[in-house]
Amino acid sequence: MSKKIKVAVLISGNGTNLQALIDACIEPNYPAEIVLVISNKPNAKGISRAREAGIKTRIVDHTNYRSREEFDTELSMILSNSKCKLICLAGFMRILSENFVNTWPNTILNIHPSLLPSFPGTKTHERALEAGVKVSGCTLHFVTAKLDAGPIIGQAAVPVLDNDTPKTLANRVLIEEHKLYALGLELVANKILKNKNVNLHREQDTVFKSLLNF
């Protein structure tokens, strides 16, 4: 078995992007392995997906903490103990504090259901349809303190159909999210394995050019 980068995945819900990463990591030559899945929601279906795959899980219910900072401190400690090198946000419905993000620089990946910088934040599909765009899609990016504004790893485009609703558009974009996340994590993990000291933010324009418009 080839060497693999240890990954932790943070979720809040169904975990379909988590499942896509689990499926990708099954391949012997895939350069990453999921060592921990954390959910801030006790009943998240994604926890069942992780347990079925034999992956260690933790529930860190944010409602049990007095502040965002207190929650993030606990989360950071658990992640440190897992010895993960990358953190993947997969439907994690929490805005991470600036201190948390700065504690894990060049480490956190997130999948967003729009072609950033267009439509950051929530209700992306509703806003895309209201704007009348002809192309939408998803973006895999590094997480920084500014919401949905970190360096882009890659994007996948989806045509917007005349009869689209937010739900139908979301379903088609989600299919591309699964592909993009697995491919992007592979690319990032391979880069780390080749050069452990690489500054992913600084080099992302050249490192990840091949992923754009895949």
Residues classed as catalytic: 112
> How far is it, in rounded angstroms, from Cα 91 to Cα 85?
19
Cα 169 to Cα 2, 4, 138, 160, 181: the distances in Å are 38, 34, 11, 7, 18
Q: What is the DSSP letter of 191?
A: H
| Phi and psi angles of residue 213, each rounded to the nearest 5 degrees, phi first | 60, 30
What DSSP string runs through 50-73? HHHTT--EEE--GGGSSSHHHHHH
Among all chains, which residue has been given the structure tokens 């699964």? 178
Note the helical H segments in the chain: 16-25, 45-52, 68-82, 98-103, 124-131, 166-194, 200-207
Report angle CA 117, 71, 96 to the nearest 5 degrees.
10
In angstroms, the CA 112 to CA 175 distance is 13
